[in-house]
Structure 1
Amino acid sequence: MEKIKRILALTGALLLVALYACTLIFALMDSPAALRLLAASVAATILIPVLLYGYILIARLLKERGSEDDFSDK
């Protein structure tokens, strides 16, 4: 399980670095679609970490609740 967490953390970090690079590239582009791409990139740069943090919180709460249920049955 620890190996999977490390792989997912590395993947998330690489995704964020790629999003930051895309944001910079889209900000410097001179194209009609650049403004929309920049807005999407900034939104993804903010929303992805927030959603991942929420997922981690919910998973932690469910794990703690599951361990309490296991002890109450015994």
Structure 2
Amino acid sequence: MKKVKQVLAILLILILIGLYVSTLVFAIIGSERAMVWLKISIYATIVLPVLLWAYGFIYKMIKDDHEKKGEE
């Protein structure tokens, strides 16, 4: 499980770096189409880490609850 978490963390870092770079590029371009992509990029930069954190939090809660039931 540790390897999976490491791979997912590295993948998330690469995705976030890509989003940051694309946000910067879209902000510099300044055309109408680029502004739409800029908004999408900013949204994804905020929402993606929050969703992944929530997924991990819920997974941990379910796992801990499952382990407690196994001890009883």
Q: Which of the pair has more CA radius of gyration?
A: 1
Give the corresponding residue for 2:10.
10
- Deviation sequence 1:5-41 (CA, Å, 0-9, x none): 1111100011000000000000001322011111000
Unaligned runs of 5+ in 1: none
CA distance in 2 between partners of 1:46 and 1:32 (Å): 22
TM value normalised by structure 2:
0.95
Unaligned runs of 5+ in 2: none
Alignment of 1:1-74 (within 5 A): 1-72=1-72
Q: Once the 2 structures are TM-superposed, how far is the Cα of residue 46 of structure 1 from its aligned partner?
A: 0.2
- The alignment-based identity, stated in percent, is 38
TM value normalised by structure 1:
0.92
